[in-house]
Chains A and B, each alone.
Chain A
Amino acid sequence: MLAARTAIRVLGLALFVAVVVVVPSRISEFRASEFALIGIFFIAILGLNILTGYTGVISLGHGAFMAVGAYTTAILMLGRPGLEAGGLSPPDWLPVGDGMKDVYTIPIAALVAALAGALFGLPALRLSGPYLALATFGVAVATPSVIRKFDSVTGGSGGLNLFDSPNLTGAIFNAVHVPGGRTLTFNDWLYYLTWTIALALFVVAWLIHHSRLGRALRAIRDDEIAAVASGVGLAWHKTLAFSLSALYAGVAGSLLAMSAFSVQPGAFPVDRSIALLVGLAVGGLGSLVPLVAGAVFLVFLPQWAQDLSQAPGVPAVIYGAVLIGLMIVLPTGVGGLLRRVLGPLTSRLYPRSQ
Chain B
Amino acid sequence: MTALLSVEHVTRRFGGVVALDDVSFEVPTGEIVGLIGPNGAGKTTAFNVITRLYRPDAGRVVLDGRNLLRTPAHRVVRRGIARTFQNVALWPSLTVIDNVRVGAAARSGGRTPLEVLEYVGLAGVAYRPAAGLPFGTLKRIELARALASGPRLLLLDEPAGGLNHEEVEELGRFVRGLREDFELTILLVEHHMNLVMGISDRVFVLNFGRRIAAGTPAEVQRDPAVIEAYLGDEHAAA
Interface residues of A (CB under 8 A from B): 212, 215-216, 218-219, 221-223, 225-234, 286, 350, 352-354
- Which one of B72, B94, B102 has the greatest number of beta carbons of chain A within 10 Å? B102
A331 shortest CB reach to chain B, Å: 15
| Contact between B127 and A230, CB atoms less than 8 A apart | no
- Cα distance A286–B101 in the bound complex, in angstroms: 19
Kindly report which residue of chain B lies nearest to residue A220, judged by CB atoms: B91
| Given contacts A222-B91, A228-B53, A352-B127, A215 and B74 within 8 Å (CB-CB) | no
B124: contacting residue among A222, A231, A350, A353, CB under 8 A: A353
Secondary structure of the A side of the interface?
Answer: helix
- Which one of B83, B85, B91, B93 has the greatest number of beta carbons of chain A within 10 Å? B91
- Cα distance A234–B89 in the bound complex, in angstroms: 16
- Cα distance A231–B145 in the bound complex, in angstroms: 11
Kindly report which residue of chain A lies nearest to residue B94, judged by CB atoms: A218
Count A-B contacts at CB 8 Å.
82
Kindly report which residue of chain A lies nearest to residue B47, judged by CB atoms: A229
A and B contact pairs by CB, cutoff 8 A, 6 listed: A225-B89, A226-B85, A228-B74, A230-B103, A231-B105, A354-B124
Q: Which A residues lie within 8 Å of B69 (CB)? A: none
Q: B58: CB under 8 A from chain A?
A: no
B87 shortest CB reach to chain A, Å: 11
| Given contacts A229-B73, A231-B75, A231-B149, A215 and B94 within 8 Å (CB-CB) | yes
B105 shortest CB reach to chain A, Å: 5
| Contact between A230 and B149, CB atoms less than 8 A apart | yes
B105: contacting residue among A212, A226, A354, CB under 8 A: A212
Q: B225: CB under 8 A from chain A?
A: no
| Contact between B72 and A230, CB atoms less than 8 A apart | no
| Contact between A223 and B90, CB atoms less than 8 A apart | yes
Kindly report which residue of chain A lies nearest to residue B75, judged by CB atoms: A231
| Given contacts A215-B101, A350-B127, A352-B128, A230 and B94 within 8 Å (CB-CB) | no
| Contact between B73 and A230, CB atoms less than 8 A apart | no
Q: B98: CB under 8 A from chain A?
A: yes
Q: B200: CB under 8 A from chain A?
A: no
